[in-house]
Amino acid sequence: MKIYNTLSRMKEEFVPVEPGKVRMYVCGPTVYNFIHIGNARPMIVFDTVRRYFEYKGYEVNYVSNFTDVDDKIIKKAIEEGVDADTVAKRYIEECKKDMAGMNVKPATKHPLATEEICGMLDMISTLIEKGYAYVAKDGTVYFRVSRFKDYGKLSHKNLDDLQSGFREIKVTGEEDKENANDFVLWKPKKEGEPYWESPWCEGRPGWHIECSVMAKRYLGDEIDIHAGGEDLIFPHHENEIAQSEAANGKTFAKYWMHNAFLNIDNKKMSKSLGNFFTVREISEKYDLQVLRFFMLSAHYRSPLNFSAELMEASKNGLDRIITGMEKLRELAEKTSGDKMMPEELENKKTAEGLIEKYEAAMDDDFNTADAISAIFELVKLSNSTASEESSKDYVTWMRDEIQKLCDVMGIITERKKEVLDSEIEDMIAKRQAARKEKNFALADEIRAKLLDMGIILEDTREGVKWRRA
Ligand code: AMP
Ligand code: ZN
């Protein structure tokens, strides 16, 4: 398997630190709002990478954090008059719902920054002891970039260039910094902000330290893959390398993978530009499977422009696969258990060639676009060769093989059952009757069942109202 490594800017053969295992860390979102579909790109892409490693027989330890303390979360909490923790918890839950909708598997571990402060204090202390960090007058702890000789190796930036670039910028409150490139590991609290005790001041961590600490705790000092969107290469991942390698004395990650941006009108989709759609908004128009399929229709290192036309094309493509699989499932019921016929054995060989094509595409730095083409060709072959006259062996073999390839892409090959309005209204009537009889247990049960079906009830003065989630 070959992976494009941002560190070397080359495709390299994948050799795990520990045979048969993959230790993978993916930087997760800052939770102050619903995630947008740009944030969904790394989630979908790296979930697919994980699934492909599993398909190949690797055991994958997949860690992805939630940044649950940060300026934006605090700002939002102040606006709403609640505490930061309430905002973060709410959007973690919402993010997990979106992930489930996109069929992104939960990570082996989703650590939260606020639950890893102890580890951060330890790592910062180590960095100070080793001379890689220093404490300024106000208690801010900075990483001493000039002390880490490899600084810039990931982003391929030269420290001298950085120096002259930064010299122009003077940031107030940072007068005590030895060097403009030095970055914050720990900073003093401000009025009304969440804070933790530390040897240096009551305060909170800088952004970069959490990932170094979580990767070390849940994956070890040396990991296989570290991933995220390409905007994280500098400074975030460069700083993570500096922190981890200075503290642990070992190479942090062997392979650095970065997805290109999801754009809209050829501009990066981002909260700050305001040109974004949330995953939730998209889910009102499309099954989120379509969004997943759309993301995988391009190579993860190519920029992808979001458009209604491409979403429609993805919807149709996905539908072709689902229809083909439905047909195979039906045929599996109807056909009998004969062994494959000579002609079927020939078709099976053709199909095996397509499976090889799929694997070759995925082995070549996870080329999901070509892998999906191979699935289409398989579906086409199956549509033209499987029938009621086929042997059961042929039909079930085809069904199971295509299913395995779809599972790697995270494509669900069953059509979602459309819940009819009349069905919902029937259930609501039953719930009302149960409430009248004071059978609240049954009423709650019906409400929960409806929720499972994606139907939300609201008891209003005008009666019960319902909407689809
Ligand atoms: P953030 O919450 O901004 O830290 O972003 C979470 C993840 O989403 C990071 O891996 C970002 O690189 C990624 N990301 C943000 N915007 C985009 C975008 N428009 N396209 C692709 N990835 C993005
Ligand atoms: Zn990170």
Residue with tokens 């975030």: 236
Q: What confidence tens digit (pLDDT) does each residue in 3-15 have?
A: 999 999 999 999 9
Chain centroid to CA 246: 28
CA distance 439 to 445: 10
- Tell me what pLDDT residue 165 has: 56
CB of 65 closer than 6 angstroms to any ligand 1 atom: no
- Which parts of 227-307 fold into alpha helices (H)? 238-248, 279-285, 288-296
Report residue 25's pLDDT band, with 50, 70 and 90 as the boundaries: very high
> Judging by DSSP bridges, how do beta strands 59-64 and 141-143 pair with one another?
unpaired
Q: Is 4 within 8 Å of 10 (Cβ atoms)?
A: yes
Helix (H, G, I), strand (E, B) or coil at 460: strand
Q: What confidence tens digit (pLDDT) does each residue in 252-276 have?
A: 999 999 999 999 988 999 988 999 9
Residues 6+ apart with CB under 8 A from 219: 23, 24, 25, 61, 63
Domain residue ranges of the chain, discontinuous segments joined by +: 2-259, 283-409, 422-468
User: What spacing in Å lies between the alpha carbon of 60 and ligand 2's midpoint?
Assistant: 19
**Burial of 216 per CB tally in 10 Å (0-12, 13-18, 19+):** buried
- Tell me what pLDDT residue 176 has: 85
Q: Which CATH architecture has domain 283-409?
A: Orthogonal Bundle (1.10)
Among the bound ligands, name the one nearest to the CA of residue 257: 1
CA distance 143 to 129: 12
Q: Which atom of ligand 1 is nearest to the CA of 230?
A: 12
Chain centroid to CA 415: 24
Nearest CA to ligand 1 atom 16: 38
What is the arithmetic mean of pLDDT over 102-116? 98
Amino acid at 77: A
Q: Is 332 within 8 Å of 392 (Cβ atoms)?
A: yes
Q: What confidence tens digit (pLDDT) does each residue in 314-339 have?
A: 999 999 999 999 999 999 999 987 79
Q: Which atom of ligand 1 is nearest to the CA of 228?
A: 10
Helix (H, G, I), strand (E, B) or coil at 227: strand
Helix (H, G, I), strand (E, B) or coil at 332: helix
Among the bound ligands, name the one nearest to the CA of residue 214: 2
Nearest CA to ligand 1 atom 17: 38
* Nearest in space to 67 (alpha carbons), one of 91, 31, 39: 31
302 pLDDT exceeds 90?
A: yes
Q: Which atom of ligand 1 is nearest to the CA of 261?
A: 20
Q: Which atom of ligand 1 is nearest to the CA of 29?
A: 2
- Residue of 6, 39, 71, 238 with the most ligand 1 atoms within 8 Å of its CB, for mutation: 39
Instruction: Kindly state the DSSP code that residue 67 receives in the 8-state scheme.
Output: B
- Tell me what pLDDT residue 104 has: 98
For 445, list phi and psi in degrees, rounded to 5.
-60, -45
- Residue of 26, 41, 259 with the most ligand 1 atoms within 8 Å of its CB, for mutation: 41
CA distance 362 to 368: 6
151 pLDDT exceeds 70?
A: yes
User: What spacing in Å lies between the alpha carbon of 229 and ligand 1's midpoint?
Assistant: 5
Residue with tokens 């290192």: 301
CB of 6 closer than 6 angstroms to any ligand 1 atom: no
- Judged by average pLDDT, the poorest of 178-192, 300-314, 443-457 is 443-457
Q: Which atom of ligand 1 is nearest to the CA of 30?
A: 2
Task: Give the tokens for residue 121.
Answer: 């204090």
> Which pTM value belongs to this model?
0.90
Q: Is 114 within 8 Å of 85 (Cβ atoms)?
A: yes
Helix (H, G, I), strand (E, B) or coil at 236: helix
CB of 35 closer than 6 angstroms to any ligand 1 atom: no
Q: Is 320 within 8 Å of 307 (Cβ atoms)?
A: no
What is the arithmetic mean of pLDDT over 165-183? 73
How far is CA 76 from each of CA 32, 79, 274, rounded to the nearest angstrom?
7, 5, 16
Helix (H, G, I), strand (E, B) or coil at 130: coil
Nearest CA to ligand 1 atom 6: 29
Task: Give the tokens for residue 234.
Answer: 């500098």
- Tell me what pLDDT residue 272 has: 86
- Tell me what pLDDT residue 171 has: 58
Nearest CA to ligand 1 atom 21: 261
Q: Which residue has the higher pLDDT, 250 or 424?
A: 250
Nearest CA to ligand 1 atom 9: 229
- Residue of 34, 231, 239 with the most ligand 1 atoms within 8 Å of its CB, for mutation: 231
CA dihedral 288, 294, 300, 306 (to 10 degrees): -100
- Judged by average pLDDT, the poorest of 3-17, 35-49, 82-96, 328-342 is 328-342
User: What spacing in Å lies between the alpha carbon of 65 and ligand 1's midpoint?
Assistant: 13
CB of 262 closer than 6 angstroms to any ligand 1 atom: yes
Residues 6+ apart with CB under 8 A from 287: 416
CB of 275 closer than 6 angstroms to any ligand 1 atom: no
Q: What share of the chain is helix, strand, coil (3-state, %, to 5)?
A: 50, 15, 35
What Rg do the C-alpha atoms of the chain give, in angstroms?
A: 26
CA distance 274 to 368: 29
CB of 39 closer than 6 angstroms to any ligand 1 atom: yes
Among the bound ligands, name the one nearest to the CA of residue 228: 1
Mean pLDDT of the chain: 94
Helix (H, G, I), strand (E, B) or coil at 312: helix
168 pLDDT exceeds 70?
A: no
Among the bound ligands, name the one nearest to the CA of residue 231: 1
Instruction: Kindly state the DSSP code that residue 152 receives in the 8-state scheme.
Output: T
Helix (H, G, I), strand (E, B) or coil at 4: strand
Helix (H, G, I), strand (E, B) or coil at 267: strand
Q: Is 251 within 8 Å of 222 (Cβ atoms)?
A: yes
CATH 3.30.360.10 matches 2-259: no
